[in-house]
Amino acid sequence: MKNSFLCFVALVFSLYLEAQTEYLEALYPVEKTTHTYQKLKRKDSLQLDFYKPLGTDKKQPLLLYVHGGGFSGGVRDDANTVEFATKMAEKGYAVASISYQLIMKKKGFGCDTKTKEKINAFDTAAADISKAIKYILKHDDIFNIDKDKVVISGTSAGAEAVLHLAYVYENKILPKRFEFAGVIGMAGAITTLDFIDKEKAIPTQLFHGTNDNLVPYHIAAHHYCSPKDKGYLLLYGSRAIADRLKGLGKSYFLFSVNGGTHSWSGFPMQRCIMEVTDFLYNDVLNQAQRQTERTIGF
């Protein structure tokens, strides 16, 4: 009798899953584990939290998330990140939230910080993200992810890091044939558009406030520094990146907040799960050729 009941429960659960849409709806319980992906010379090390959907044995797409904090602060496991990662894993995505070297700690990231130090922060973060991905790819027996469906995402400094990695950074860490399936930037920007061409363009989702006072929405100096400042660095924000992709006829999803400042950068993780899910399911997994733009008031 007991075995019959368990079989009945399993059948009901199976039928329930079939009635739902994987990657769009919450279907799975989630297991969180922590892994050290890079040991540093100092006493600390770089770690990642891995959120695994339980109840499926197939290889899952990976959504890797990079926190913000001006390359000087922030953590991989704040409440907002844990909630976001859990919600995405419940839909069937493997999610990794990583720590990285905060080399601007006690230095700041404003107009008094030398431009070359800012670019070095972008490069260092891009390298650390690459090492985390390499670790996950190497340990397939633990993570079991679909290597052709790796999406990188980040907020603020994390968004600058993942966009830099996707479109600017010369990667010598990941395999030569490796390609990202997509990138999501929440209030991020890059130092040049020159490397975004038809060959390198990937599905890109961008969230940004039009009045961002630190990372420009369109084209402006980082922190709006003066050309005379040590930290003057021209950046190309979400609007500029979207325009570039639009001209190339490539997929992008631009979500603008009219009047939104940089304080809005964490908003998408809380209130735009539907938009993130839409982008991942349609533009990344099903390779829809869409150019989507949405604007809301702040």
Domain CATH for 104: 3.40.50.1820
Q: Are 291 and 284 in contact (CB under 8 A)?
A: no
Separation between Cα atoms, residue 226 and residue 126, nearest integer Å = 26
Classify residue 6: in a domain, yes or no.
Answer: no
Look up the domain containing 229 and give its range.
Answer: 20-297
User: Looking at the 3D structure of the chain, how many domains does it have?
Assistant: 1
pTM: 0.92
- With a cut of 80, say whether residue 48 has pLDDT above it: yes
Q: For 120-172, what is each residue's pLDDT tens digit?
A: 999 999 999 999 999 999 999 999 999 999 999 999 999 999 999 999 999 99
Classify residue 108: in a domain, yes or no.
Answer: yes
Classify residue 4: in a domain, yes or no.
Answer: no
Classify residue 3: in a domain, yes or no.
Answer: no
Classify residue 25: in a domain, yes or no.
Answer: yes
Q: For 182-193, what is each residue's pLDDT tens digit?
A: 999 999 999 999
Classify residue 91: in a domain, yes or no.
Answer: yes
Given pLDDT bands bounded at 50, 70 and 90, which one contains residue 44? confident
**Torsions phi, psi for 86 (to 5 deg):** -65, -45
Amino acid present at 73: G
Classify residue 1: in a domain, yes or no.
Answer: no
Classify residue 5: in a domain, yes or no.
Answer: no
